[in-house]
Amino acid sequence: MTNPSSERGQEAADVDLPTQYQPANVEGRLYERWVSRGLFTADPARDPSRPAYSIVIPPPNVTGSLHMGHALDHSIQDTLVRRRRMQGYEALWVPGMDHAGIATQNVVERELAKEGKSRHDLGREAFVERVWRWKGESGGRILGQMRRLGDSVDWTREAFTMDDARARAVRTIFKRLFDDGLIHRAERIINWCPRCLTALSDIEVEHADREGELVSIRYGSGEDELVVATTRAETMLGDTAVAVHPDDERYRHLVGREIELPLTGRRIPVVADAHVVPAFGTGAVKVTPAHDPNDFEIGRRHGLPSLAVLDERGVITAPGPFEGLDRFEARPAVVAALREQGRIVKEVRPYEHSVGHCQRCSTVVEPRVSLQWFVTVAPLAKAAGDAVRDGRVAIHPPEMAARYFEWVDDMHDWCISRQLWWGHRIPVWYGPDGETVCPGPDEEPPAGWTQDTDVLDTWFSSALWPFSTLGWPDRTPELERFYPTSVLVTGYDILFFWVARMMMFGLYAMDGAEPFKTITLHGMVRDQHGKKMSKSFGNVVDPLDWIDRYGADATRFTLLRGANPGGDVPVAEDWAQGSRNFCNKLWNATRFALINGAHVRGELPEDVTAVDAWILSRLQTVIAEVDGHLESFDFAKACEALYHFAWDEVCDWYVELAKVQLADGRAGATRRVLGEVLDKLLRLLHPVVPFVTEELWTSLTGSGQGTDTIVTAPWPEPDRARSAPAAEELVASLQRMVTEVRRFRADQGLKPGQKVAADLEWNGSPLAAHEDGIRSLLRLTEPAGGFSATASLPVEDVKVHLDTAGAIDVAAERKRLEKDLAAARKEIGQARGKLGNEAFMAKAPEAVVAKNRDRLAQAEADVRRIEAQLAALPTA
């Protein structure tokens, strides 16, 4: 930036800002100051006239660390909360963690394994104590990382899904559901991990395409022969039927008859079921109710037995030669035995299909019939669907609602039990004669009764999060003030697994009151090529690495600038570097302003220059635009608007033009306008980039805004009285003129800072009043003795005569212009040809015709401009 004006005198501020912005020297210090002053602490009793705004953080796993998905999710939430806080809301953002049953138990079991022990060596009670100790010593690392990102959460309300308050909430809702007949125990088919030895929820199963082997097997013989195909030959040992479609003429004669199941000596029925697709494969499918979810449903419809042939570790239990073999050992052995009997119709061939894996240990998941606890979801799911359909809850973007309805309208009973030791233990006790009791949270079970050994699915406790974190089941002041919460921010990938369950439990527990007013869904963070981030791909980005190198603000801005509603968010390191440069640009511009006496004291002057009026007018438009984008959760558009206003208009144009005004009699008004623009700009940017804006704003304003922190500074509102269309048009004309001359200079190889003598022929243009600013922007000096124009450019009704002797290659410039002239004339010919074609004019849409007319007008203007430039070139 330039040196301070010699005329700034007493208007200059004391500038404590270093010459360069170093995020590491600012971020930690500011965050601890904010927390220590209680700026993020919400008070339900404070000023009831203030509107309430609340968000509960999607609780990260206690085992987790900050990844790019978290960073995006938290940056969005923090932007929303900080803006509402500035708007005068009583804003509450509740932090906390999930106990992550399977993941946490696995971590501690691995530690024990290093000591040569298992959890069974400790026993249940001692093992759970060991997990609590691990949580206190090593768990929750992500909470410190949230501070580094700048999360403005209310740390006084930090919650954990296994703490006492949440445990009481879990017991309360379980009891209520149990008494209402909405929780039951039954044998059903579930996802089972043979390594973790527990049932899994759908979200704990990750599907990936794997190449397997498809084998076609002949069942029965002669007229009773059927051929089925499978990738899991070992499960045929548990088949209890073969199913065909009721309308399939090929097999109608077999329905109701029994055929021989190879290798077993058993005879099994052929049943007709509409689930079978006749056109797929042979149109006949093996039915193994104990080991396939679709087969389980077929079995229930036809009263088939469920014959389990795999134990909890995936080992064959069926008597015979395969007993004791692991499922993957048994598969080729079964195929070999079938081949020996001549039962293989087609040779084994490769077949790619989707295979479920345990999210925690990557073991292939086994569908398995098991005695588990379930929630009857039908009435709860209907209520969750109705809340969105009748408008009580809005899903944003709206097109995501269709996916939500697909899930809640066809939801199956929810398996809530897990065969773990870490988690909320099922609050059901069994008596000596098989009696069952479910006492409430404040009741004791009968003496001598035995508690169920299973624990609840992690998602059960997190489904209570919007109200359990506010004190439910007690009617606390927090619950009264902040429930329903205002908005839920989360990725679209857990719309069903978490969001739908919170909707069900919130409506049920809170007497029909929805848990949040709005659900806003963002996409997944991907690499710059749109590829999923994966360790196997080598494209994972650690947000903490970016924070270390570029700062939290740059990391947040990079993510939010790509956060289009519902869309995936690509990121790249050079984009983070660009965001860091943006923060530096703000720093340098504000430092320049302070050096030159910019301030926010007193009212804005009424008598301002056209340049000052222009930037104030543009500021009002940007305030309205950013407000609209943030209200509609379009963070990408909000960031784009702020970026281009800050960089392009404020820094590249206004600051440069203001330098001239700061050096003359207009300095007083310009100092105030410059302070005003930066004040409002920094406030608009604060929710997105909180650290750099706080450091700059407090230096700029002091206590001039009634607060010494931007955290509680008023959110800007547009002042339509400052709209100045005439000034905007004038400066737009100035920008076009400067851009055109700069382009000419660049074409001639002139360096941006190289000064060139010029005579400006104004011809009555209002731009004449801004000659000093134009000359400064274009590095044009006043013509001196012996001035002789070597080139003339007609731009914006002004003729710019330049003396570029020795700086311009006239022959090269003539050649360039002649090439451009030929291209423009060709464009005219093409446009006129289309507009003169009767067939084209009769069929083309009006928008296409209008576009060609615009092309013609632009090309004709280009020809006039280029011809004038050629005429102005020296002849020798």
DSSP-assigned beta bridge partners for residue 213: 350
Strand, helix or coil for residue 578: helix
And the tokens for 406? 């697909």
In contact, 59 and 143? CB cutoff 8 Å: no
Strand, helix or coil for residue 323: coil
Residue 348: enclosing H or E segment and its boundaries? Answer: strand 344-358
Task: Please state whether 516 falls in left (phi above 0), alpha (psi between -120 and 50) or beta.
Answer: beta
| H runs (alpha helix) in 686-724 | 690-701
Phi and psi, residue 777, nearest 5°: -65, -35
- How many Å apart are CA 605 and CA 612, to the nearest integer? 10
And the tokens for 612? 């000052």
The residues, ordered by sequence, that sit 6+ positions from 251 with a Cβ below 8 Å of its Cβ are 226, 244, 245, 270, 283, 284
Residue 20 is classified by DSSP as S
As a whole number of Å, the end-to-end CA separation of the chain is 41
The DSSP bridge pattern shows strands 344-358 and 205-219 to be: antiparallel
In contact, 565 and 634? CB cutoff 8 Å: yes
Nearest to 868 by CA among 735, 726, 761, 732: 761
Does residue 751 have a known ligand-binding role? no
Say how far residue 777 (Cα) sits from the centre of its chain. Answer: 41
Longest CA–CA span in the chain (Å) reads 116
In contact, 462 and 59? CB cutoff 8 Å: yes
- How many Å apart are CA 503 and CA 408, to the nearest integer? 10
- How many Å apart are CA 612 and CA 50, to the nearest integer? 35
Residue 689 is classified by DSSP as S
Nearest to 106 by CA among 422, 334, 461: 422
In contact, 792 and 848? CB cutoff 8 Å: no
The residues, ordered by sequence, that sit 6+ positions from 446 with a Cβ below 8 Å of its Cβ are 429, 431, 437
| H runs (alpha helix) in 87-163 | 101-114, 119-122, 124-137, 141-149
The residues, ordered by sequence, that sit 6+ positions from 339 with a Cβ below 8 Å of its Cβ are none
Annotated binding site for ATP: 535
Residues that constitute the known binding site: 535
